[in-house]
A and B are shown apart, each in its own frame.
Chain A
């Protein structure tokens, strides 16, 4: 086990928001990383937590962190079909959230940095 590998394990734990990470090293060895971070309430990430009254909605297909498109799409904006309206970040990579229809945005309950769950509405259309 090198210093580099330990640093890597710590960086990995931090970037994933883990409090504790334990892994096997070499023959029978174990490394346990405990990240000391102040406890703060975790934002609710269920679809029910951010109710959106829109029958036409874009829902997430993954769990991750929402990131706005550039420029950010706001309520009242008109988007075209297949337009990238935001991103969902999973660790170091991000996937595009695309509009499945053209229309005017009536609701956008999330902002950059918000944790979103499976099937959560991130955009609602009129």
Chain B
């Protein structure tokens, strides 16, 4: 078991989410930065979909009541195990009684803690992800609180190592973050000015930014003509423009349908960047084709597969 010593209610158990039930209104949920969760799982030889902890409120502290193997990935900052600093994207062993402390990150917004064998909570609708909006999945459908105890597999110590794969290295949070998006269904209904502004403006993430969605601040995006839309399906990454003209990015815990016109959809391969960008970050949207979006995702998966295979080889050599 592990015991949560310090946390905030926005910290939760997440895997890659609930897919395939959008038609009955079940949101995807899952990690906001799926890439970092997958790297954490790959480092431990887990299924990439194994459940870990998503930490967005700091400091976070937990104590191991048994020996276990874990990895810390995602946002970078001071991480210590029993007072010893751990490098970023690192997998290590904890002895019984040791405490893991995650300080507020210097770079990025969300830290992922994964455990060899995952976290043993009951799957709901095929996933261990916490849907904080609807209140199910994860641990009783809620965020973590002090005193929570979670079941993880006991594991003997292993030699610590990390991932060379470093997606965060390419991000400079002091500047607008480049994010790729494909034009959405109503893209052509926006005025020529609005379409131009959308891809040239450096959009600021407001304080209204959580697992459901991020509201962006910038110029008003106007429609060419009035539009009455029936409610329709939306996905994590959909960028809607409500009557205020200020875009909203729908994210992990978003509703599965909406009625606002959509200007673009952030590609799956770049959604993790949104998950690592907190309020006051800025986004610069670049238009790509669906083919380019698929190719980017395939490349990302190849990198994770390569990491998982290297870990497998290293483990078999180490015995």
Contacts and interface: CB of A to CB of B under 8 A. Distances in A.
Given A70-B88, A84-B87, A96 B160 contact: yes
A93 B87 contact: no
Interface residues of B, number: 22
Interface in B301-319: 302-303, 305-307, 310-311, 314
Interface residues of A, number: 20
B298 A92 contact: no
A114 interface: no
Contacts of A69: 87
Nearest to A3: B298
Interface in A12-31: 12, 15
Contact of B162 (A4, A11, A94): A94
A84 B43 CA distance: 19
B284 interface: no
Contact of A93 (B84, B298, B305, B314): B314
Which label, helix, strand, loop or mixed, suits the secondary structure of the A interface? Answer: mixed
Nearest to B305: A8
Contact of A92 (B85, B87, B310): B310
A91 B162 contact: no
Of B85, B159, B302, B303, most buried by chain A (CB within 10 Å of CB) is B302
Interface in B197-232: none
A93 B160 contact: no
Interface in B3-61: 43
A6 to B, nearest CB: 11
A98 B164 CA distance: 17
A93 B164 contact: yes
Contacts of A8: 302, 305
Interface string B69-86: 000000000000000110
B269 to A, nearest CB: 15
Contacts of A89: 164
A91 B314 CA distance: 11
B30 to A, nearest CB: 24
Interface of B: 43, 84-85, 87-88, 159-165, 298-299, 302-303, 305-307, 310-311, 314
Interface of A: 4, 7-8, 11-12, 15, 67, 69-70, 82, 84, 87, 89-96
27 contacts: A7-B298, A7-B302, A11-B302, A11-B303, A11-B306, A70-B87, A82-B84, A87-B87, A89-B164, A91-B164, A92-B164, A92-B303, A93-B43, A93-B161, A93-B162, A93-B163, A93-B164, A93-B307, A93-B311, A94-B161, A94-B162, A94-B163, A94-B164, A95-B161, A95-B162, A96-B160, A96-B162
**Shortest 7 CB-CB contacts between residues of A and residues of B:** A92-B307, A92-B310, A89-B164, A91-B310, A94-B162, A94-B164, A11-B302
